[in-house]
Structure formats: C-alpha cells, structure tokens
Amino acid sequence: MIDLHLHSRASDGTLSSAELVSLAAARGVRLMSLTDHDCLDGTAEAAAACDAAGIRFLPGVEVSVSWDRKTLHIVGVDIDPQHAGLQAGLTRLQAVRDARALEIGRRLEKHGISGAHAGALALAGEARLTRTHFARFLHQTGHVKDEAQAYRRFLGRGKPGHVSAEWAGLEECIGWIHAAGGQAVLAHPLRYGFTRAWLVKALTAFKQAGGDAMEVVSGRSSPDDVAVSAHLAKRFELLGSVGSDFHAPSPYLQPGVQTPLPDGVQPVWERFRDRN
Ligand code: AMP
Ligand code: MN
Ligand code: MN
Ligand code: MN
C-alpha cells in the first residue's frame, strides 16, 4: 500500500511523525511521503522511523499556491529537503502564514472572539500555524460544534475570519520542487469546490507551468471521483498519485490508500529516483 500525502504534528496533523509512521506501518503502508503544509520539519524523524519500520520513505511537502486569486495545493514529492532554494521559498511562506495568523486573530477579535491568535499558537506548540489550529481553538472554546463549522462560520472564504494570503506563484512553486529534484503533484483536484470549467482551467495552467502529476485517488474519493480524476489525468497527460491527506486518527480516514490507480494512468512513483 502506498500513501503520498500525509500530515504530522509539524503542521496540522495530530500525530508526531514517528507515531504517524507506526500507524502507517500497522496499516500495511510500504511507501510513504510526509507532506506537511509549507514545512519540512518532520522529515528527519519520519525518515528515521520509516527506516526502522522497513518502509520506503520519500521526503515531501504540500505547498500553498495562489493562482488566479484562488488557493491551490501542490505536493512536492521525492524532493531533496536540504535544497536551499526550496527551503528559502518555504521560509517565505511561513512568514506569510505568521502574518496571516495575526490578522485572522484581529478579525476574530473584532467579531467578538477574544484570544484566538494566542489560543491557536498555544495549540500549535512547535508546529507551524495553520487554519486548522484556529478551527481547533474555536471548537475547544465552544464557538462552534465541530471543526467543519469553524470554516463555514468563520475561517472559510467570505467569512469574518477569512484572510486571503499571497502564497507562492504556480510556476515558482513547481520551479522549487523541480530544482529540489522532485515531482510536482496537484493535490486533491476535486476538493477546491471548482466548477468543471475552472478545474480544466486550473489543470491547463498546472500542466503549462510544468506540473507532473495529479492525485487521482485522494482521501475519501468515491469511485466516481476516481473515474473522473483518471479521465482528467489522461486528458492532461499527467501522472497519477495516491494520498490519504490523513491529519488525525478517525473512523473515516486512515493512512494508506486502498484503491489502486485505474488502468491507463501512469503512477508517479515510477519516476522516483532510486535512492539505494
Ligand atoms: P491553511 O493552509 O492554513 O489555510 O489551512 C488549510 C487546512 O485547513 C487544510 O489543509 C485542511 O487541513 C484544513 N481545512 C480547510 N478547510 C477545511 C474544512 N472545510 N474542513 C476541515 N478542514 C479544513
Ligand atoms: Mn491540512
Ligand atoms: Mn491540501
Ligand atoms: Mn494535505
């Protein structure tokens, strides 16, 4: 079993990378990548844990990209985590995250919710701040009934605590990933809430910018989602990837993707460099 999209406590997952690897190993994962948001902090620990567990590990990252005033997530997999250009780019995105988080806190404050920035920071601990930490704060302080409601009421587009950010450019991000030796994968293409026309526009831009692959099997994709994604991968001549986008243990989603890539979609892992 393969999983090329996983989160740890270095960004908005709830498990340490060692705990994540144990869980993935127990589930039968044989090849995995850790893909935290704009962050490589969990890489060394995950690599060591995979070594010990006998799992093949590929360093990865999920990069936030601004494209046509929308946010896309591009997973870079099989990257060199020491690459200076990639590291500099991610450092810049973390500064954008920190400034955005302060502004989210201010907006929520004006909206009558006090202490959100400090609360999110405390929940994050050593992790890089994400909206997930604000969602957890809003949930734990009783402002919302669950984290999904935090996005619907406060943190989603057009809501009082939403702050748009200038993330990496699409070509810029793919440039970092390629310079670091990796493959650029468009994450969860069906989860942006785009119409079919916008999705085609995004895939066209991604392919033109040098993108290599797209997730064909993602988190909770239905058989229909997989069929639609496989069709798009073939149409845009993109390789196929599989990833759970696992953040936290739940009855609905575990590390490890069971659904195989459909026939006719070339697996992105055939491109991975042989590290042995
Ligand atoms: P950020 O990159 O800081 O804007 O945070 C994005 C993260 O928030 C995503 O990777 C998800 O983990 C989480 N997220 C965004 N929207 C939702 C949602 N509607 N429900 C649950 N989690 C969400
Ligand atoms: Mn996330
Ligand atoms: Mn994502
Ligand atoms: Mn993700």
Q: Whose CA is nearest to atom 3 of ligand 1?
A: 130
Residues of the chain with pLDDT under 50: 276
Measure the CA–CA gap between 178 and 176, rounded to whole angstroms: 6
| pLDDT reported for residue 276 | 47
CB 133 within 8 A of CB 154: no
| pLDDT reported for residue 275 | 61
Q: Whose CA is nearest to atom 4 of ligand 1?
A: 131
Kindly give, in sequence order, each residue whose CB lies less than 8 Å from that of residue 164, ignoring residues fewer than 6 positions away.
69
Q: Whose CA is nearest to atom 9 of ligand 1?
A: 132
CB 206 within 8 A of CB 170: yes
| pLDDT reported for residue 258 | 86
Q: Which atom of ligand 1 is nearest to the CA of 247?
A: 12
β-bridge pairing 183-186 and 239-243? unpaired
User: Which numbered ligand comes closest to the C-alpha of 6?
Assistant: 4
Mutation test of ligand 1: which of 64, 151, 166 has the most ligand atoms closer than 8 Å to its C-beta?
Answer: 151
| pLDDT reported for residue 7 | 98
- Residues with CB under 6 Å of ligand 1 are 12, 37, 64, 130-132, 147-148, 151, 247
| pLDDT reported for residue 40 | 98
Kindly give, in sequence order, each residue whose CB lies less than 8 Å from that of residue 242, ignoring residues fewer than 6 positions away.
2, 3, 4, 215, 216, 217, 218, 257, 259, 261
Task: Starting at the earlier edge strand, list the strands of the sheet with 31-34.
Answer: 2-3, 31-34, 56-67, 70-77, 183-186, 213-218, 239-243
| pLDDT reported for residue 219 | 85
Q: Which atom of ligand 1 is nearest to the CA of 12?
A: 12
Q: Whose CA is nearest to atom 13 of ligand 1?
A: 132
Mutation test of ligand 1: which of 8, 11, 12, 162 has the most ligand atoms closer than 8 Å to its C-beta?
Answer: 12
| pLDDT reported for residue 273 | 83
| pLDDT reported for residue 97 | 98
| pLDDT reported for residue 100 | 98
